[in-house]
C-alpha cells in the first residue's frame, strides 16, 4: 500500500559494467488500474462483509504489487548506477507516505478528544503503533483482534501499512547485499525469492489451527506464547509480517524475472494475446476468490472459526493470480493493461488508492461507531463521497506538494535580507505555522494525559462477571453425557468437585447478551450462567449436568445464538432434557446483519409446537423496535435495556420483575397502565399455558 500512487518514470541508460543497454522502467497505467480494483474490493468488504466476503484479499494484491515494484526499481537502480542509494530510497518513501499518515493520526486524535474522550486512552497505543509502523505487532501482542466486531477501532487498518513499511526498511538492505554479491545471477535470486514465498506459505499452514476461535469452551489450541504473551494464532498468521510476506516475496521474484526493459526486446513482446489470456485468467481467479473466500467463518454451530483454505494455501493462490495479472498489465502491448485496467477512471482511483485506503476506514468508523456494524447502500454512498473529498484534498494540498519538494522551497523563502516585504512574508509564515501546529499540539496534549478506559460494552460485561454462577464443575462425572447431538454421546470419567445443595428455582443460560443483564436478573432470584462467545450447543452439557444432580427447578431461561448458528438437532437435544421443567423460556436472537439470525429465530419460534412447556420471548422484535435499549452494536444491553430485558423474562415466567418509572413495556397491539408497579409485559410470540 505504500507503493500506491507510485508512478514509474524513465531512467537513464545503464552505466554499470560497461553495458550500453538502456534500463527503462516505463509508467505502467495498468498497475494503477489494478490498485484501483484492489482498493475498491477492500472498501466494499469494510463497508459490508456480505457485499464481498473476500474483499480483504485486495490487501494481498497490494503486497504483491509492492514486492514487484520495489524490487524492480532497486534492480533498475543497481544496473544503472552500480549501487543502491538507501538514503534516497527511504527519503522518497517518507515523502510519499508520512504526510497523509500524520494527517490521519492527528485528525483522528482531535476527533476522539472532542467527541469520544472515553476512547482516548485506548487510542493512544494505536496512534503510537501507527506512527512507528508497528500496528500489526501491536494488535497481535495486545490481543486487539482484527476480527473483533464490537469495538471503535479507527486505526485498525494500519496493520497492512506496517507490514509494508517493515518490508521497505529491510528489503533495500537485502537487495543491496544480494546485488553486490551476485548481480549477474538475478534468475537465481528470483528463484530464492519464490522458494521463500513457498516456505512462508507452508509455515503459515503449520502455525494455523482448525477449530473454533471464539467459542470459549474450546480455544486452548488457538493460542501460543509469543514474546511472553499468549496470542491468538489466527491473529498472528493474518497480521504478522512473517506470515504475510509470501505475497511480497512472490512479487519480488516477478520483479527479478519480468523486467519491462527486457520484456520489450524479447520474443514474448510479440505474444500479447497469450499474455492477455494469462492475465484474464488471473483476474477471473482473483474475482472468484474474492467472491468465495472469507477470513473467518461466522455462524457455524461450533462458533466462529478460520476459513481453512485461506490459511492453508489460499493467500499463496491469491498472490499467484496477482502475479499473472501484473505480468499482463506490465507487458508493453496487452489489451488488459492498456484498455481494461489502464482506463482513465481506474488510473485516477489507483493514483489515489493510498489515500482512499487510509481515510475510508476511519470515516466509516466515525459514522457507524462499531467495527462490525454493516453499512446500508445509502450511507455507503454518502460516506464514499466524503472519503473521495478528503482523499482528493489530501492528495492535492498535502501529499503532492510535499512529495514534489514544494514545502522545502517555501521554507527556504525565509532566507534573505530582512527587507519589509520579507519581514511581512516571515510573519505570514509564522502565523501559518502556529495555526497548523494547534491541532498536533492539542492532539498530543490530550493523548498523553488520557486514562485508559474500557469501552462501554466491555465495561458492562466486566461489571457483570461478579453476578455469574458457573454451574459446570471443573470435571464432569462419568455418568453425565456432555454431548448427544446426532446420536453421539461422549462422557467424562472423573467425578464432579461440587454438588449444589438445593434445586435452582430459575436457571438462566446465555451468552454475552444475558451476561450484561446478570446484575439485574439476580435481583429477582435468577441463577445466571452466562459467558461471552458461548455457542448454542454449550447449553447441552450444562442442562445435562444440572439434571443429573437433581438441581433443575421450576424454570429455565435460555438465550443463545448471538455468536453462532444452531441446528434443529442441537435445540431438540437441549429442550428434550428439560421436558420435566414446568416452564422453559427461550429468547430469540437480535444480531443485525448476521446471516444466522433468521435461521436461529425460525427454529426457536417453532419450539412451542412440539414442546408444551416452552414459551418464547421475541427479543428480536423488542430490540428492533427499541434500539435505544442497546449499545451501538445493536446487540448488547445498555442499563435501560438490561432492565427491560429482565422485565420481559420475569413477565414470561409469571414472576415479579423490575419496576419502571417510564412507560411499561407492552406487546404490539396491547396497552397497559403506566402506573403499574411491576412489569406487565406480554410475550410476543406463540405461547403455551403451563401448570
What integer pLDDT is reported at residue 145 of this predicted model? 67
Whole-angstrom distance, CA of residue 331 vs CA of residue 324: 11
Architecture of domain 459-653: 3-Layer(aba) Sandwich (3.40)
**What was the pLDDT predicted at 269?**
72
User: What is the distance of C-alpha 404 from the center of its chain?
Assistant: 34
DSSP string, 191-241: HHHHHHHHHHHHHHHHH---SBSS-TTS-GGGEEEETTEEEEHHHHHHH-T
Q: How far apart are CA 103 and CA 125, in angstroms?
A: 17
Res 490 pLDDT > 60: no
| Interval 662-690 mean pLDDT | 38
pLDDT for residue 417: 72
What is the helix (H) or strand (E) element at residue 530, kind and residue range? strand 526-530
Q: What is the pLDDT of residues 375-409, one digit of tens each?
A: 999 999 999 999 999 999 999 999 999 888 777 77
Cα separation, 440 vs 332, in Å, equals 46
Q: What is the mean pLDDT of residues 488-504?
A: 49
> Confidence band (pLDDT; 50, 70, 90) for 533?
confident
Could you tell me where the DSSP H helices lie in 450-556?
456-464, 512-521, 539-548
Read off the pLDDT band of 15 (50, 70, 90). very low
How far does Cα 103 stand from its chain's mean position?
22
C-alpha closest to that of 559 among 466, 632, 649, 447: 649
Q: How confident is the model at residue 219 (pLDDT cuts 50, 70, 90)?
A: low
Question: With the C-alpha atoms ordered 509, 513, 516, 519, is the resulting torsion angle positive or negative?
Answer: negative
Task: Express each pLDDT in 82-111 by its tens digit.
Answer: 889 999 999 999 999 999 999 999 999 999
- What's this model's pTM, rounded to 2 decimal places? 0.84
Please answer whether residues 539 and 507 qualify as being in contact, where contact means their C-beta atoms are separated by less than 8 angstroms: no
User: Which pLDDT tens digit goes with each residue over 305-334?
Assistant: 889 999 999 999 999 999 999 999 999 889
Please give the helix or strand (H or E) that residue 138 lies within, else none: helix 135-142
CB 47 within 8 A of CB 374: yes
Query: Rounded to an integer, what distance in angstroms lies between the CA atom of residue 224 and that of residue 228?
Result: 10
- 25, 261 in Cβ contact below 8 A? yes
Does the structure show a pLDDT above 70 at 684?
A: no
Domain boundaries, the chain: 16-208+219-261+349-404, 459-653
Q: How confident is the model at residue 487 (pLDDT cuts 50, 70, 90)?
A: very low
Residue with the larger pLDDT of the pair 71 and 20: 71
Q: How far apart are CA 40 and CA 351, in angstroms?
A: 13
| Secondary structure in 3-state letters for 471-483 | CCCCCCCCCCEEE
C-alpha cell at 332: 508493453
Residue 465 pLDDT exceeds 60: yes
* Most confident among 177-186, 238-247, 526-535, 588-597 (mean pLDDT): 238-247
How far apart (Å, rounded) are the C-alpha atoms in residues 8 and 205?
35
Give yes or no for residue 423 having a pLDDT over 90: no
Which pLDDT belongs to residue 270? 76
Query: For residue 474, what pLDDT band results from cuts at 50, 70 and 90?
Result: low
Task: Give the mean pLDDT of 488-492.
Answer: 38
- pLDDT value at position 568? 94
CB 329 within 8 A of CB 33: yes
What is the reported pLDDT for 369?
A: 83
Q: pLDDT above 90 covers what percent of the chain?
A: 59
pLDDT, the chain, mean: 84
CA 176 to CA 86: how far, in whole Å?
8
Q: In this predicted model, which residue has the larger pLDDT, 24 or 599?
A: 599
Strand-pair category, 526-530 with 614-617: unpaired
| Averaged pLDDT, 522-548 | 92
Would strands 614-617 and 296-297 be described as parallel, antiparallel, or unpaired?
A: unpaired
Grid cell locating 468:
455469574
Amino acid at each position: 500500500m505504500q507503493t500506491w500512487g507510485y508512478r514509474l518514470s524513465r531512467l537513464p541508460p545503464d552505466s554499470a559494467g560497461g553495458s550500453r543497454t538502456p534500463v527503462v522502467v516505463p509508467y505502467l497505467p495498468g498497475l494503477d488500474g489494478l490498485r484501483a480494483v484492489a482498493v475498491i474490493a477492500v472498501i466494499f468488504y469494510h463497508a459490508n462483509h456480505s457485499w464481498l466476503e473476500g474483499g480483504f484479499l485486495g490487501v494481498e494484491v497490494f503486497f504483491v504489487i509492492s514486492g514487484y515494484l520495489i524490487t524492480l526499481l532497486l534492480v533498475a537502480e543497481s544496473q544503472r548506477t552500480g549501487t543502491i542509494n538507501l538514503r534516497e530510497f527511504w527519503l522518497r518513501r517518507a515523502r510519499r507516505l508520512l504526510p497523509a499518515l500524520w494527517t490521519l493520526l492527528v485528525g483522528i486524535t482531535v476527533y476522539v478528544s472532542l467527541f469520544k474522550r472515553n476512547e482516548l486512552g485506548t487510542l493512544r497505543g494505536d496512534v503510537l503503533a501507527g506512527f512507528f509502523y508497528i500496528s500489526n505487532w501491536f494488535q497481535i501482542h495486545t490481543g486487539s483482534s482484527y476480527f473483533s466486531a464490537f469495538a471503535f477501532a479507527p486505526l485498525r487498518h494500519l496493520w497492512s501499512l506496517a507490514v509494508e513499511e517493515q518490508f521497505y526498511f529491510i528489503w533495500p538492505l537485502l537487495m543491496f547485499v544480494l546485488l553486490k554479491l551476485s548481480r549477474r545471477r538475478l534468475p537465481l535470486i528470483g528463484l530464492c525469492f519464490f522458494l521463500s514465498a513457498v516456505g512462508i506459505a507452508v509455515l503459515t499452514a503449520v502455525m494455523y489451527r482448525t477449530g473454533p476461535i471464539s467459542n470459549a469452551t474450546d480455544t486452548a489450541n488457538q493460542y501460543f506464547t509469543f514474546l511472553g504473551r499468549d496470542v491468538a494464532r489466527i491473529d498472528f498468521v493474518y497480521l504478522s509480517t512473517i506470515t504475510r510476506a509470501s505475497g511480497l516475496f512472490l512479487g519480488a521474484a516477478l520483479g527479478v524475472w519480468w523486467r519491462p526493459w527486457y520484456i520489450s526486446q524479447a520474443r514474448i513482446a510479440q505474444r500479447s494475446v497469450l499474455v492477455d489470456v494469462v492475465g484474464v485468467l488471473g483476474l477471473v481467479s482473483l474475482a472468484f476468490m474474492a467472491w468465495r473466500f472469507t477470513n473467518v467463518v461466522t455462524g457455524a454451530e461450533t462458533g466462529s472459526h478460520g476459513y481453512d483454505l485461506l490459511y492453508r494455501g489460499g493467500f499463496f493462490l491469491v498472490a499467484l493470480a496477482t502475479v499473472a495479472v501484473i505480468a499482463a498489465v506490465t507487458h508493453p502491448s496487452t489489451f488488459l493493461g492498456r484498455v481494461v485496467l489502464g482506463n482513465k477512471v481506474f488510473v485516477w482511483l489507483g493514483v489515489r488508492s493510498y489515500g482512499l485506503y487510509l481515510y475510508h476506514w476511519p470515516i466509516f468508523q466515525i459514522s457507524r461507531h462499531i467495527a462490525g456494524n454493516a453499512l446500508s447502500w445509502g450511507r455507503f454512498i454518502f460516506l464514499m463521497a466524503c472519503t473521495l473529498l478528503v482523499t482528493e484534498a489530501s492528495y492535492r494540498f498535502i501529499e503532492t506538494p510535499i512529495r514534489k519538494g514544494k514545502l522545502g522551497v517555501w521554507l527556504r523563502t525565509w532566507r534573505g535580507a530582512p527587507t519589509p516585504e520579507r519581514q511581512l512574508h516571515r510573519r505570514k509564515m509564522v502565523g501559518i505555522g502556529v495555526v497548523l501546529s494547534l491541532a498536533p499540539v492539542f492532539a498530543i496534549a490530550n493523548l498523553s494525559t488520557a486514562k485508559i478506559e474500557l469501552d462501554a460494552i466491555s465495561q458492562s460485561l466486566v461489571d457483570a462477571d461478579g453476578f455469574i454462577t458457573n454451574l459446570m464443575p471443573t470435571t464432569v462425572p462419568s455418568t453425565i453425557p456432555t454431548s448427544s447431538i446426532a446420536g453421539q454421546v461422549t462422557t467424562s470419567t472423573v467425578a464432579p468437585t461440587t454438588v449444589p445443595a438445593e434445586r435452582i428455582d430459575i436457571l438462566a443460560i446465555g451468552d454475552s447478551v444475558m451476561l450484561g443483564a446478570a446484575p439485574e436478573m439476580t435481583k429477582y432470584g435468577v441463577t445466571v450462567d452466562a459467558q461471552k462467545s458461548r455457542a448454542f450447543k454449550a447449553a447441552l452439557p450444562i442442562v445435562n449436568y444440572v439434571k443429573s444432580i437433581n438441581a433443575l427447578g421450576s424454570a429455565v431461561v435460555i438465550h443463545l445464538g448471538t455468536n453462532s448458528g444452531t441446528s434443529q438437532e442441537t435445540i431438540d437435544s437441549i429442550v428434550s432434557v428439560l421436558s420435566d421443567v414446568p416452564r422453559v423460556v427461550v429468547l430469540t436472537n437480535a444480531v443485525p446483519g448476521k446471516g444466522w439470525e433468521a435461521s436461529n429465530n425460525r427454529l426457536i419460534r417453532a419450539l412451542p409446537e412440539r414442546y408444551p412447556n416452552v414459551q418464547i420471548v421475541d427479543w428480536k422484535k423488542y430490540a428492533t423496535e427499541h434500539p435505544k435499549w442497546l449499545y451501538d452494536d445493536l446487540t448488547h444491553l445498555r442499563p435501560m435495556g438490561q432492565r427491560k430485558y429482565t422485565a420481559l423474562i420475569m413477565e414470561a415466567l409469571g414472576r415479579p420483575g423490575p419496576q419502571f418509572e417510564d412507560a411499561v413495556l407492552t406487546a404490539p397491539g396491547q396497552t397497559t397502565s403506566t402506573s403499574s408497579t411491576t412489569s406487565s409485559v406480554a410475550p410476543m410470540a406463540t405461547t403455551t399455558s403451563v401448570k
